[in-house]
Structure 1
Amino acid sequence: MTTYYYVLASQKFLLEEEPFDEVLRERKRYYQERDKEIDFWLVKQPAFLEAPEFAEIKAKCPQPAAAMVTTDENFSHWLKLRLEFVIQGSFQAPSDSIPNPIASLTTV
């Protein structure tokens, strides 16, 4: 199993109220300069929130939600500091309750 770290917020906050596209461009450029493989994913309506262990967290986050999911704990902490008003955490996957860590409930 792999540990995945997430930063969670409402889609409106993350994608409209914050300059999140700028954050993603900066991070992508940083990875390219270091020949590092991308280890982060923007997930709209993340399916992991449907796992029973996330019921309390899902209730705290305005819906529809969006999450930045990564395997890089430092990036997760950096995002939390950069964005402030987000929920941060981690989970192990794949598991019975989270078979795909970056699955989305949206079809688009």
Structure 2
Amino acid sequence: MYHYYFAIASENFFLDQEPIEEILRERIQYYVNNNREIDFWFVLNSTSINIIQNDNSYFDMSDSLAAIVSLDKQFIQWLKLRVSFVQIGSFKSESIFVPK
């Protein structure tokens, strides 16, 4: 069983209001420098987000959603502190997360 953690917000927030590309690029560089396998995904409005949204009923957003999904709970908690205006949560899956 895989335990995933996520930070979710409107697509507009992630793409236009926050430097999310820079944050993720820095995180990738950190993983490369430490020989770690990348264990996070940036997902735009997709069926994967619908699954997250349905499992976590506290989302009431009419905008298109985007999410950062990771196996690393601490990364998502850090992201919440860094970005602030996101909702975080978790879900479990028997298979590896593959954004659709």
Q: TM-score range by the shorter chain?
A: 0.7 to 0.9
> Normalising to structure 1: TM-score of the pair?
0.80
> Structure 1's 6 and 79: CA in aligned 2 closer, same or farther, altered over 3 A?
same
Q: 1:62-81 residue pairs with structure 2 within 5 A? A: 62-81=62-81
Contact 2:43 2:49 in 1 (8 A): no
> Structure 1's 14 and 6: CA in aligned 2 closer, same or farther, altered over 3 A?
same
Query: Runs of 5+ in structure 2 lacking a partner?
Result: none
Give, in angstroms, the shift of residue 100 of structure 1: 6.5
CA RMSD of aligned residues (A): 1.8
What SS is found at the alignment partner of 2:58? helix
Contact 2:39 2:72 in 1 (8 A): yes
> Normalising to structure 2: TM-score of the pair?
0.86
Q: 1:4-23 residue pairs with structure 2 within 5 A? A: 4-23=4-23
Alignment correspondent of 1:92:
92
What SS is found at the alignment partner of 2:79? helix
- Identity percentage over the alignment? 38
What SS is found at the alignment partner of 1:57? coil
What is the one-letter code of the residue matched to 1:9? Answer: A
| Structure 2: distance between partners of 1:37 and 1:62 | 34
Alignment correspondent of 2:99:
103
Contact 2:40 2:70 in 1 (8 A): yes
| Structure 2: distance between partners of 1:80 and 1:102 | 22
Give, in angstroms, the shift of residue 57 of structure 1: 3.1
Give, in angstroms, the shift of residue 49 of structure 1: 4.1
Alignment correspondent of 2:42:
42
